[in-house]
Each structure stands twice: as C-alpha cells, then as structure tokens.
C-alpha cells in the first residue's frame, strides 16, 4: 500500500503569481509552487489544465477566481498531488514519475517538500 502525506490547513489563498518558471500560490504560511501537469477541477465539473508553465501551455485564468478561497488540505501520494478548496475546487497534479513539479513550503517552520520526490522519504518511514 502506498503511503500518503496530508497537510491540513485552513489558509486563504492570498496571492497567485505566475512567471516563466512557476505558478506560486500563497496561503499565508503555506506556499505552493507548480511547474507542470496541473489540472484545475471546478465544482461544476469544468476542467482546465496547465501542462507546462515554461512553454506557456495552459489556462492560468482558472486560478484567479480562487483568490480569497480557503484551502482545506493538501494530499500527496503515488497517484497525484491534490490541493482542495472549501468550495469543492481541486487542483490536481498527476504523478508522471518524472522530475519534481510541485513544491510546498511552510514559511515559519522552514519546511519544504518537493513532489514527487517526497514520496521516497515516505516509503522509508
């Protein structure tokens, strides 16, 4: 059975920054950076994808309505990285067994995890 890492927080999405290297979501003390393979699944079933930030492949407009919403949790496992919001929106990054493409940092605790590499540490516990 694969292990998972769950981070339960109730931070409001304060800021979205997009540049040529990453999409950065700031939730107060938690920062999530994404580079590729991002799906934004709205509660009504609408899906938008950001395949590659560097290549400008994807729809960043789906992120702007999330500003001001609270995240409920982050789950990382063998299948995907998932970031849930209070309204039912889900940001999902499917694990393609490739290089790290999501980073999660906790500012005050000086803690950071890169997905999917963090799964190797979970397997060893």
Exposure string for 41-61, b = 16+ CB within 10 A, e = fewer: bbeeeeebebeebeeeebeee
Would you mind telling me the total number of residues written for the chain in this entry?
125
Mean pLDDT score, 16-28: 88
The whole-angstrom separation of Cα 41 and Cα 117 is 24
* pLDDT at residue 76, rounded to an integer: 92
Report whether 100 contacts 113 (CB < 8 A): no
* pLDDT at residue 99, rounded to an integer: 80
Higher pLDDT, 51 or 92: 92
pLDDT of residue 120 exceeding 60: yes
The whole-angstrom separation of Cα 120 and Cα 81 is 14
- pTM (predicted TM-score): 0.85
With a pLDDT cut of 90, the percent of the chain lying above it is 36
Exposed, middle or buried by CB within 10 Å (0-12, 13-18, 19+), for 25? buried
Handedness of CA 8, 26, 15, 84 (dihedral sign): negative
Mean pLDDT score, 5-30: 88
pLDDT one-digit tens code per residue, 76-98 = 998 999 999 999 999 999 888 77
* pLDDT at residue 71, rounded to an integer: 95
pLDDT one-digit tens code per residue, 30-40 = 899 988 889 99
Exposed, middle or buried by CB within 10 Å (0-12, 13-18, 19+), for 72? middle
Lowest model confidence (mean pLDDT) among 48-52, 62-66, 118-122: 118-122
Distances (CA, A) of 39 to 82, 88, 112: 10, 14, 22
* pLDDT at residue 42, rounded to an integer: 93
Handedness of CA 35, 78, 105, 100 (dihedral sign): negative
């Amino acid at each position: 059975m694969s292990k998972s890492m769950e981070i339960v927080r109730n931070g409001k999405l304060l800021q979205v920054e997009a540049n040529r290297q990453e999409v950065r979501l700031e939730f107060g003390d938690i920062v999530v950076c994404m580079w590729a393979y991002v799906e934004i699944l709205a509660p009504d079933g609408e899906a938008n994808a950001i395949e590659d930030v560097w290549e400008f492949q994807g729809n960043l407009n789906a992120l702007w309505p999330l500003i001001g919403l609270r995240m409920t949790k982050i789950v990382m496992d063998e299948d995907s990285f998932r970031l849930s919001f209070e309204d039912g929106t889900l940001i999902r990054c499917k694990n393609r067994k490739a290089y790290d493409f999501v980073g999660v940092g906790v500012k005050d605790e000086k803690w950071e995890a890169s997905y999917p590499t963090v799964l190797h540490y979970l397997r060893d516990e």
